[in-house]
Amino acid sequence: MTAKLSLTRLGYVILFAKDVERSAAFYRDALGIPVKMASPEWTELETEGTVLALHRHDEAVPTAGAQPEVVFNVDDVRAAHAALRERDVAVGDLRKVWEGGGVVGLSAVFKDPDGNRLSVHGTVPEGQWQAG
């Protein structure tokens, strides 16, 4: 008999960092994510539903080809995008990533100090996509 398998609850997303303390400061200070627990080897950030962890690793994050991306869903994507820019985060422009049901999904990509790819994502009503 084959055991039933259901991998539907994501517990951790682990990002690798050369300097965990520096990266934790970026997530705390620039992104506003509280630190749940910290050490030079492993830090957990307080995110809803899934633990975002930083794990020390000496190798650089690959920069060529496809990369995993951690997406932060936000209620007001334009405000989040503006706040990132105000905090001097090198965030790209908002771009349309999907549309349907009268809304448009917008996303903007940025990277943490170790080059891990991050983005903010949210929706706007279809008629407001090009507006401000």
Looking up residue 72, the CATH number of its domain turns out to be 3.10.180.10
Do 36 and 86 fall into the same domain? Answer: no
pLDDT in the model for residue 130? 77
Strand locations in 26-82 (E): 35-38, 42-45, 51-56, 69-73
Do 111 and 84 fall into the same domain? Answer: yes
CA distance 112 to 7: 28
Please report which confidence band the pLDDT of residue 25 belongs to, taking 50, 70 and 90 as the band edges. very high
Do 53 and 89 fall into the same domain? Answer: no
CA distance 71 to 82: 17
**pLDDT above 90: residue 49:** no
In a domain, 1, yes or no: no
pLDDT in the model for residue 113? 93
In a domain, 5, yes or no: no
- What percent of the chain lies above the pLDDT cut of 90? 75
Beta-sheet strand order (sheet of 103-111): 69-73, 117-125, 103-111, 95-100
In our burial notation (b when 16+ CB lie closer than 10 A, e otherwise), range 11-28 reads eeeebbbeebeebbebbb
How many domains are there within the chain?
A: 2
Task: Look at 18 and 1; give whichever has higher pLDDT.
Answer: 18
Averaged pLDDT of the chain: 91
Burial class (CB within 10 angstroms; exposed 0-12, middle 13-18, buried 19+) of 83: middle
**Could you give the angle at the alpha carbon of 10 between the alpha carbons of 2 and 71, nearest 5°?**
140
Which structural domain range is residue 17 located in?
A: 10-59
Domain boundary among 25, 42, 59: 59
**pLDDT above 70: residue 14:** yes
pLDDT tens digit sequence for 64-97: 667 889 999 999 999 999 999 999 999 999 999 9
Beta pairing, strands 42-45 & 35-38: antiparallel
pLDDT tens digit sequence for 50-68: 999 999 998 867 766 678 8
Do 105 and 52 fall into the same domain? Answer: no
In a domain, 3, yes or no: no
Q: 60 in helix, strand or coil?
A: coil
Residue indicated by tokens 């080897």: 41
